[in-house]
Amino acid sequence: MEKSGQPDRHILPQSFLIPRGLWIFMIVVSGWSLYSMIRHMSARFEVPRHLITSFDVFGRAGVVIDVCIYIYVAWLGFLFVRLARNRMEGTWVACWIAPIVINPFKMLIPRYSYVVWWAELFLALVFFLATVALFLNWKPRQTLVRCRVRFNAVSQPPRTPEL
């Protein structure tokens, strides 16, 4: 407990430690995804037949499996958004998970599948912009910063003796 009487929150101090190269990869992949969604605009009228399992193969058990997996993914998405350090990371994670969560609405309401497609397109655009913003705010890990401070240009790092 803190001095103020409030309990400590048990969260990770640095929830998303992503290296710079992975941020560049995420920018390229999210940009390509956005481009392919805009390029294939006829896909907005496609209605998927199943989420993960096929009804023809598994029957009603497949529907139960799909619903359980859907609830689990939605729960994980909620937890990942809660683990975000700031609003930008929360937006980034939410826009990453939200298309997975809203995609089954195409099956439930096939008449309005284009509305879900437009929402997915908007989320892909926001995800791309949030990825670029997080890449521009990227900072090296604290251990790297401490090593740079410790072994700056004034002092030389220790050398191993030559044999």
Does pLDDT of 84 surpass 70? yes
Share of the chain above pLDDT 90, in %: 13
CA dist 138 and 10 (Å) reads 24
User: What is the separation, in whole angstroms, between the first and last Cα of the chain?
Assistant: 55
The DSSP call for residue 43 is G
Q: Tokens representing 21?
A: 């190269």
Q: What local confidence, expressed as pLDDT, does residue 15 receive?
A: 45
CA distance 38 to 148: 44
pLDDT in tens, 31-66: 998 998 888 877 777 776 666 666 666 778 878 888
Looking at residue 127, its pLDDT comes to: 92
User: How high is the mean pLDDT of the chain?
Assistant: 78
Res. 134: pLDDT tops 70: yes
CB atoms within 10 A of CB 128: 20
Residue 6 per-residue DSSP state: P
Nearest CA among 119, 129, 73 for reference residue 99 = 119
- Answer whether residue 12 shows pLDDT above 60: no
* Residue 13 predicted with pLDDT over 50: no
DSSP 137: T
Q: Tell me how far apart the alpha carbons of residues 63 and 41 are, in angstroms, rounded to a whole number.
A: 29
The Cα 15–Cα 113 span in angstroms is 35
Residue 126 clears pLDDT 60, i.e. is over it:
yes
pLDDT at position 72, please?
92
Average pLDDT over residues 78-93: 86
> Does residue 2 register a pLDDT over 80?
no
Q: What are the two backbone dihedrals, phi and then psi, of residue 52, each rounded to the nearest 5 degrees?
A: -125, -55
Residue that the structure tokens 């619903």 belong to: 67
